[in-house]
Amino acid sequence: MRRIKIIADEKISFLNQIFAHIGYLTKLPSAMLNRNNIKDYDILLVRTVTRVNEELLKDTNIKIVCSLTSGIDHIDRNYLKKNGIKLIYAPGSNANSVAEYVIACLLILAKKKRFSLSKKTIGIIGVGNVGTKVAQMCTILGMKVLLSDPPKFNRTKNRKYLSFRKLSDADIITLHTPLTFTGKYPTYHMVNEDFLKKIKRNVIIINTSRGSVVDENVLLKFHKKLWGLVLDVWENEPDINISLLNLADIGTPHIAGYSLDGKLNAAMIVYKKLCSFLKEKVEIKREKVLPILNKAIFVSTKAKKIDRMLYNTILSIYDPANDHTKMRKILKLAYEERPRYFEFLRKKYPVRREFFNYRVMCDNCQPKIKEMFKKMGFEY
């Protein structure tokens, strides 16, 4: 029996540890994943940087496309369906990673702008895997949480899913929608002139979904209405809008979901689905591939306010301001060098682990503080 042939983007994490036993594994740079190079393979493994469409797949032997991502707007699903090509991907794999990024950014903004998170209302647009995690964490922080998800409201009629108009009271709006162009609720340029006119003045906007959910030219026009701006995603990546980066409190190169644990989640989800489809035995265990860090982290009770205690603890683990500082170096580069630098930041992104890898140590913490850290995902 002929062994399955797999071609994969070499930047996918844990390739050898997880996928090599399924078949013959060949790795290539994403720029070399073209029709000619993949034509003799059965399975294609990609990231978001590879456009998977007719141009790539026509006249190839590819029968299964695996995207090690939670979103799939880089994939022409209609073409795959029409040609009997199986699609496997990893929804929700980086939900924790993105939610932790959002919380870290909120803590940075709260310190920078001198406000208490517990006194703020946050509007979450898109209540899928990521939006749900963000809502849970913000509730733990004592924030008032408003949810908006028109497709979910349409399906469930649950009144907790508010219209955009009813988010007008939100002090912070964070976006967690897929990028869609058709249907009843397309999200392309969802944040447009009409949207920005209706929100109140001095709102903070956070986008970790997809760049094109926001009309960046309109956002530039309305930037004086905002109190803060966090952008991890950009239209036309990697050729990003430098003017918006200049205005952003935090601007990062599409890395909110880039925790090592999130990458392993994606690989394991795809691997298990692939094994099921191929009727192969699941042989790889995640704890063998990436053990939990189990690192002690000490919480100082000198910081009397909860926001400051969280800031000191969480920012010692992961500080998005470091990514922002690196990102701003793009402003000094020549135009033609900027996209390459954006991609470089993503390719060379340092190891980042999620909260559950850390064991909180606190000598005199009140029970409510201990419980808060536990609910945020830390070990105790």
Amino acid at 57: L
CA pair distance 296, 23, nearest whole angstrom: 40
Amino acid at 309: M
Selected catalytic residue, list 237, 324, 338, 346: 237
Q: What are phi and psi of 82, to 5 degrees?
A: -65, -30
Q: How far is CA 241 from CA 189, 236, 320, in A?
A: 15, 8, 19
CA pair distance 325, 70, nearest whole angstrom: 27
Return the H-helix or E-strand segment holding 198.
Answer: helix 193-198
Q: What are phi and psi of 41, to 5 degrees?
A: -105, 160
Contact yes or no for 243/268 (Cβ under 8 A): no
Contact yes or no for 139/145 (Cβ under 8 A): yes
Selected catalytic residue, list 47, 210, 338, 346: 210
Three-class SS state of 87:
strand
Which residue, among 25, 45, 39, 29, has the nearest Cα to 88 in the 3D structure? 45
- The answer to whether residue 176 is catalytic is no
Contact yes or no for 140/376 (Cβ under 8 A): yes
CA pair distance 138, 367, nearest whole angstrom: 19
Contact yes or no for 376/353 (Cβ under 8 A): no
Contact yes or no for 213/191 (Cβ under 8 A): yes
DSSP of 231-249, one letter per residue? ES--TTTTS--HHHHHH-S
CA pair distance 208, 233, nearest whole angstrom: 6
Q: What are phi and psi of 13, to 5 degrees?
A: -70, 145
- The answer to whether residue 10 is catalytic is no
Selected catalytic residue, list 254, 324, 352, 353: 254
Three-class SS state of 311:
helix
- The answer to whether residue 237 is catalytic is yes
Give catalytic residue positions: 210, 237, 254
